[in-house]
Each structure stands twice: as structure tokens, then as C-alpha cells.
Amino acid sequence: MTLKAAVVGFGGLGRTHAQTLSKLDGVELVALCDKHAERIKSGDLAINIDTGAKTLDASKCRAYTDMKEMLRREKLDIVALAVPTDLHAPLAIAAMKAGCHVFCEKPMALSTRQCDSMLAASRAAGRQLMIGQCLRFWWEYDALLKMIRSGTHGKLISLSLERLGNYPDWTADNWMLDSKRSGGAILDLHLHDVDWALYALGKPTRLFSSARIGRTGGYDEVAAVWEYDGGPMVAIRGSWLHTSFLMTFRAIFENAVVEYGFPPDPALRVIRRSGQTEKMTSPGGSAYFDEMKYFVECVAGARENSVCPPESTRESVNLVMLEIKSASKGRPLTPA
Ligand SMILES: NC(=O)c1ccc[n+]([C@@H]2O[C@H](COP(=O)([O-])OP(=O)(O)OC[C@H]3O[C@@H](n4cnc5c(N)ncnc54)[C@H](O)[C@@H]3O)[C@@H](O)[C@H]2O)c1
């Protein structure tokens, strides 16, 4: 059976997801929706669309400016949402109520209450919901996860995760620069590492964070420390006050240091205490492609969603909310 899919929000991530859905076996991309009609550049979509990096074959797609109208007219199995974060919950809930399985970009929503409404809608409609926490599908992070789980280099002593960028002034209507719509850097950017630390190590025993309000009106600069009783210490830094994009990690194991993303050589490196260094190179591919392929396989019934279940991505939003509380109260907190 071919799954009919649509993408809502044809900006940076929407174009990426449309590319993937147009290439996956067993999927037919039939509709694109963006409230700014001009963002879907071709009138009747009978020709290819230039998405910037690549050309998308949208010859079978119809274009819409309103998701509800699209849901009324199309018979869809899958809706991929890549809209501003304040719209994740209302649009995901509407799409699931209309009978669609929903892939929704991260962060899941602006609050845990909204996340809970999305989870309830998924259960009530019997439709799958997956949030695009792409680091869970990122080769280098996955390689680190395997080292942590296997104990190849001994016990993990400490882990630092860093994600720095400049202010994102390229989004539609500049929605990302408004913390009421994006949650600021702490929810939009730093959440990536929060989610991965949760995925890899579980909930911390306690956390403390220090943060600064920035141009978005929310926390755009954050340093968090997570502690695990009997386990590693984790330091997570996020910022939109940097001058360029950088994502790095450094893991200190008993017998080796593993690092990724550092200029001028961003490759994953294992530096053994003996002094021997091993460089590991990704086989290629893209986490954005792999996460969508995984979701489609879950919808098709080929696998259970054990990598990125929505309950766990709800927990990463909860941990960011705890960090916000910790920063504003100036004290450590214990996750429930
Ligand atoms: N996984 C990642 O690495 C990553 C990276 C960047 C952004 N994101 C997430 O992806 C989502 C989209 O971000 P983006 O960078 O693509 O933003 P963007 O501004 O480039 O694209 C958003 C699109 O949604 C459209 N839109 C707004 N309201 C709409 C509505 N009611 N109906 C239909 N379309 C509507 C806009 O016109 C725009 O084209 C956000 O949740 C963001 O946090 C994820």
C-alpha cells in the first residue's frame, strides 16, 4: 500500500522533509501547504520546485495555504509538520483528529501541557506521532551512544554537549526571534542536546542551570549541569549569541576521550589514554532522511517506535522547563 503524505510549512525543514518523502519507497507526496502561497513557488506544481539546495519533483502535489482545507480535500495517511513551534500542538492535534499519522518537528511544543494534549490526541485517534529529534538519528551521536552502552572505553565519567549559533533571522515572519513562538534558544536550540542526553543517559538525578535573557525575550544563553548519582556529570551549553554555528561533544571515559565537531577537524575522534588516536568517519547519509524513513516504517507497521516515542520527547520539553525554573530560581532541581 502506498502512503499518501503532505508537508505543512514549506520553509527550511519543510523542504528537507518534502525531499525525503518524495524519495522514500512506499510513499507518495501528494500535497504541500504553506500559509505564504509564494513559498511554494510553482503555480500548479506540474514542474519541479527549486528548494535552494536541490530540486523537488512536486509533479504529483497540490498546493494549499490552509491545512484544514487540505485535510478536507485530500485523503492523507501522513502529515509532516514543519511550522513555527507555537503551531505544533494545534496543527498536530487537528491532523490526527482527521485520521493522519503525524511527524512533527522539534521541539514537541511550547509547554508540557501542550505535549500532553498531543499525546492524548494520538491515543484517542489511534494515530502515530513522532517528533523529529534528529540527534537520535545522527551517526556521530549514535556512535557515542554505542560506546557508552558497550563500555568499550570503560565507564563514562563526564560528557559536555555544546550547541552555539547566531540569531536565526531567516525564518518566516521572523517567528524564531519571538520567544512566545519559539521558546528562545533554550527550547529551540539547546533542547537538541537535552533530548539527546535524556535519550542516552535517562533522567538526571538533579540539574542546575544558569541562563540569560536575550533578543527573543526568552533565555538565549544557557549553561546547565546535570548530575547522575553513581553516574556521569553532564554539562550542556546552548547559545544564540555566538557568531556562527557549532555543535560539539566531548566524552571523558575511564580509558579514552571521545570528541566531535571541533574545528578545524570536526570528525569524531577517539583519543586513547595510551596516546593512540582513531578518527571515525560517518558513512554518509542524513539524520533528517533517516528519521523520516524510520517514521514511515513505523506507520507501515514494519517496526515499533522505540527510538523516538512521543512520551520521551515530551520529557525533554519537561527537562527544558525545569532548566528554565532552575535558572529563574537560582537553585538546583530534581526531576520528578
Ligand atoms: N531538526 C532541526 O534541526 C531543525 C532545524 C531548524 C528548525 N527546526 C524546527 O522546524 C520547524 C520549522 O522551522 P523552519 O526553520 O523550517 O522555519 P521556517 O520559517 O523556515 O518555515 C516555517 C514555514 O511554516 C509556514 N507557516 C507558518 N504558519 C503556517 C500555517 N498556519 N500553515 C501552514 N504553513 C505555515 C511559514 O510560512 C514557513 O514557510 C520549527 O519547529 C523549528 O524548531 C528543526
Residues 148 and 266 in one domain: yes
**pLDDT (tens digit per residue) in 91-121:** 999 999 999 999 999 999 999 999 999 999 9
> In the chain, what percentage of residues exceed pLDDT 90?
90
Question: Per the domain annotation, does 299 fall within a domain?
Answer: no
Looking at the structure, do residues 167 and 309 belong to the same domain, yes or no?
Answer: yes
How many domains are contained in the chain? 2
99: left (phi over 0), alpha (psi -120 to 50) or beta: left
Same domain assignment for residues 159 and 88: no
Residue 75 Cα to ligand 1 middle (Å): 23
Q: Whose C-alpha lies nearest to ligand 1, atom 3?
A: 134
Tell me the backbone φ, ψ of residue 237, rounded to 5 degrees: -120, 135
Q: Is the CB of 8 under 6 A from ligand 1?
A: yes
Among 85, 118, 133, residue at a domain's last position: 133
Q: How far is ligand 1, taken at its centre, from the CA of residue 81, in Å?
A: 8
Cα torsion 189, 194, 195, 196: sign? positive
Q: Are residues 174 and 242 in the same domain?
A: yes
Cα 162 to ligand 1 centroid, rounded to whole Å: 23
Secondary structure letter of residue 2 according to DSSP? P
Q: Indicate if 118 and 146 belong to the same structural domain.
A: no
* Together in a domain, 172 and 88: no
| Closest-CA residue to 87 (of 10, 170, 181, 191) | 181
**Final residue before a domain boundary, out of 112, 133, 154:** 133
Q: Is 210 exposed, middle or buried (0-12, 13-18, 19+ CB in 10 A)?
A: middle
- The answer to whether the CB of 16 is under 6 A from ligand 1 is no
Is position 294 within any domain?
A: no
Q: Give residue 94's domain range.
A: 3-133
The answer as to whether 300 is a domain residue is no
- Ligand 1 site, residue 3, Cβ cutoff 6 A: no
Do residues 88 and 9 make contact, with C-beta atoms less than 8 angstroms apart? no
Q: Is 54 exposed, middle or buried (0-12, 13-18, 19+ CB in 10 A)?
A: exposed
141 and 85 both lie in a single domain: no
Mean per-residue pLDDT for 56-65?
85
Q: Single out the residue in 133, 156, 176 at which a domain terminates.
A: 133
Q: What is the CATH number of the domain that holds 143?
A: 3.30.360.10
Residue 227 shares a structural domain with residue 325: yes
pLDDT digits (tens, 9 = 90+) for 252-279: 999 999 999 999 999 999 999 999 999 9
Q: Is residue 55 part of a domain?
A: yes
pLDDT the model gives residue 49: 62
CATH of the domain at 23: 3.40.50.720
Q: Is 63 in the pocket of ligand 1 (CB under 6 A)?
A: no
pLDDT-derived band at 44 (thresholds 50, 70, 90) equals very low
Q: Is ligand 1 within 6 A of the CB of residue 332?
A: no
Binding site membership of 10 for ligand 1 (Cβ less than 6 Å): yes
The label of the residue with cell 506521532 reads: 129
156, 279: one domain: yes
305 lines ligand 1 (CB under 6 A): no
- CB of 260 closer than 8 Å to CB of 268: yes
Query: In this structure, is residue 296 part of a structural domain?
Result: no
